[in-house]
Amino acid sequence: MRWLRLSLLLLALAPPSAQAAGYVFVKLTSPQQLVFSELTGPPAMNEAGQAAFIGKDAQGVPGVYLYSIGAVYLVVSANGPFADFGNSALDPAVPSIDSLGNVGFWARLDSGEQGFYRGNATSVTTIVETPGPLGAFDALGNPDAWLDDAGVLAFWAVASGGEQGIYTGDGGAPLPLYLGAPASPDFSELGPDPALSSGGNAAFLALSPLLGAGLFTGPGAPTAASFVSAYGACSPPPPLAINASGVLAHPSLATSCFDQAILAGAVIADAATSPYASFDVVALNDNGVAAYLAERDAGGEALVRSDDPGGVIIQTGDPLFGSTVTDIDFGRQGFDDARRVSIRYVLADGREGIARGTPTKCDNDVDDDGDGLVDFGADPGCSSVADTTETSAVQCDNSVDDDGDTRTDWRPDGSGDLDCSSVYDTSEFGTPPPPACGIGPELLALALLAAAGRRRSG
C-alpha cells in the first residue's frame, strides 16, 4: 500500500555547528526545524549525508523522519494506520536508509498487524505485512531494518509452517535466503536483524545442527552459508554490519560477549588492553574502516575510529552545542565512506538531537591541498587533528598565487609554482636575478661625459 505524503517541516540554511576532537558536528534536528519531545534510538545515514531516525513530535506522536539537505521531512506518523515504530527506550527499532534517501522501518498498525515498510517524503511502500505467509517479525524484540543501496530490505520472519527464515524484499514477493527446520536441515534457528551487502550477501546469526551457534554469511540458497565464527548466545544479540565487499564488523559474540570490537575477523579493540569495558556497536564503510561505540572503564561512552584508535571522535564529557555530552547513541549504519558519523546525542542541559560529524581536513585521510602530504602528523599545514585546513601561512603552502604567475604552491608532480622547492619554501618569487651583463652604469656615465667634452673641444 502507498500513502502520498509531503511534509517539509523547515529548511535550515545554516545549521549550528560545534567542534569535538577532529570532527565538526552539525545539528540535523533543532528547535528551529521541529520540536521533538523524544528521539528514540540511533539514526542511520547514507553516503549523501541523509539520515533516518525515529522520534516523537511535540504532541508525543511517534513518527519516522528523514533529514536531507538541510530539511527534515516526515515520512510517516502514528496518526493512522500506524500505531508505533518500536519507540522503546530499552529496545528501540532502528530504521535504515538507502542511497536514494528511502527509509526502511518496522511498524505496528492500529489493527494490531505489523510489517516492514520503505518510504520517503512522498510515499510509503509495503515490503511485507501481516496477515500473510510471513509474520512474527517482533518475536525476538523490536526489529531493526536494513536496506541495501538499491532499497532491498533484509529481515527475519517466521513462515506459516513455523520455520524461521532470513528474507529480502523490495515490494514484491519476499525472497527467502536461508530457512530453518523443518523447511531446511541447515539451520534449526535463525537470529534477528540480519545485514545485507549491496552485493547481495547476508550476514546473520543462526543455530546449525552441524556447526552449532554461529555467525554466517552468504548470498542465499542454494549457495551454502559460510560459517564465520562461533556465537555464545549473547543477550541482546550483537548488531551485525556488512559492507559492499562483504566485510563484516560486530562486537564479539563468543563466550565473552561485547568485550571486543571485530572487523573482518580481526580484533581491533579489546577490553583487556584498551580503556574500554565493552563495545556496543561496530559500523563500517565500504573502504573497510570501522567506527565503534564503546563503554569506557572510567564510565561514559566514546565513539572511536578503527584507523585512529587513539583518537576519539566524540565522547561523554565533550563540549557540544554550548553544553556537555552526557549520552551518545550510534547505529550500525551510522558511518560512511567519507568517515562521517551520525549520532543521537543528549546534553547536560537536557537537550537531545540528531547530529552529523564530519572529520576536519586534518583528520579525513585526504590530501586536501594537493601537496602529497595527508593530515596531522604529515602535512605541515596541520597543527592538530582539529585544524580545519591543511594549508599554512608559508607562501609555498598557502593555496595563493603569491607572485601572480598562475602557478600556486609546491606540488609533488611539478604542476605547482616552479620557484617552490618544497612546502616549507617561504617564497614563490624565487631568487632575484643577477645584474645584467654590460659596461655598468658608472662606466656609461663616464663615457657620456667624455663624449660631451669632445664635442665642446671641437
pLDDT bracket for residue 33 (50, 70, 90): low
**What CATH class has 8-359?**
mainly beta
Task: List the Cα angle 316/263/251 in 5-degree steps.
Answer: 55
Residue with the three cell numbers 607572485: 403
pLDDT digits (tens, 9 = 90+) for 362-392: 777 788 888 989 888 888 888 877 777 888 8
**For residues 133 and 185, what is the distance between their CA atoms, to the nearest angstrom?**
20
Enumerate residues 6+ apart whose C-beta is below 8 A from 88.
Answer: 40, 142
Range in 181-185, 214-218, 344-348, 426-430 with the lowest mean pLDDT: 426-430
Residue 237: name the closest of 289, 280, 288 by CA.
280
Between 7 and 300, the higher pLDDT residue: 300
Given a cut of 80, whether residue 21 has pLDDT beyond it is no
Query: Would you state the pLDDT for residue 10?
Result: 33
Query: Would you state the pLDDT for residue 7?
Result: 38
Q: Mean per-residue pLDDT for 163-172?
A: 96
Range in 103-107, 128-132, 388-392, 437-441 with the lowest mean pLDDT: 437-441
Q: What are the structural domain ranges in the chain?
A: 8-359, 386-458
Given a cut of 70, whether residue 341 has pLDDT beyond it is yes
pLDDT digits (tens, 9 = 90+) for 45-57: 999 999 999 999 9
pLDDT bracket for residue 442 (50, 70, 90): low
pLDDT digits (tens, 9 = 90+) for 198-209: 889 999 999 999
Average pLDDT score over the chain: 88
Return the amino acid letter for 409: D
Given a cut of 60, whether residue 264 has pLDDT beyond it is yes
Range in 2-6, 119-123, 205-209, 231-235 with the lowest mean pLDDT: 2-6
Question: The whole model's pTM is what?
Answer: 0.82
Given a cut of 50, whether residue 116 has pLDDT beyond it is yes
Enumerate residues 6+ apart whose C-beta is below 8 A from 342.
Answer: 28, 42, 43, 44, 45, 51, 330, 331, 334, 354, 355, 356, 357
Percentage of the chain surpassing pLDDT 70?
Answer: 88
Between 90 and 447, the higher pLDDT residue: 90
Query: Would you state the pLDDT for residue 25?
Result: 96
pLDDT bracket for residue 34 (50, 70, 90): confident
Given a cut of 80, whether residue 351 has pLDDT beyond it is yes
Range in 61-75, 117-131, 152-166, 427-441 with the lowest mean pLDDT: 427-441
Given a cut of 60, whether residue 147 has pLDDT beyond it is yes
Query: Would you state the pLDDT for residue 453?
Result: 55
Query: Would you state the pLDDT for residue 5?
Result: 34
Range in 98-107, 162-171, 253-262 with the lowest mean pLDDT: 253-262
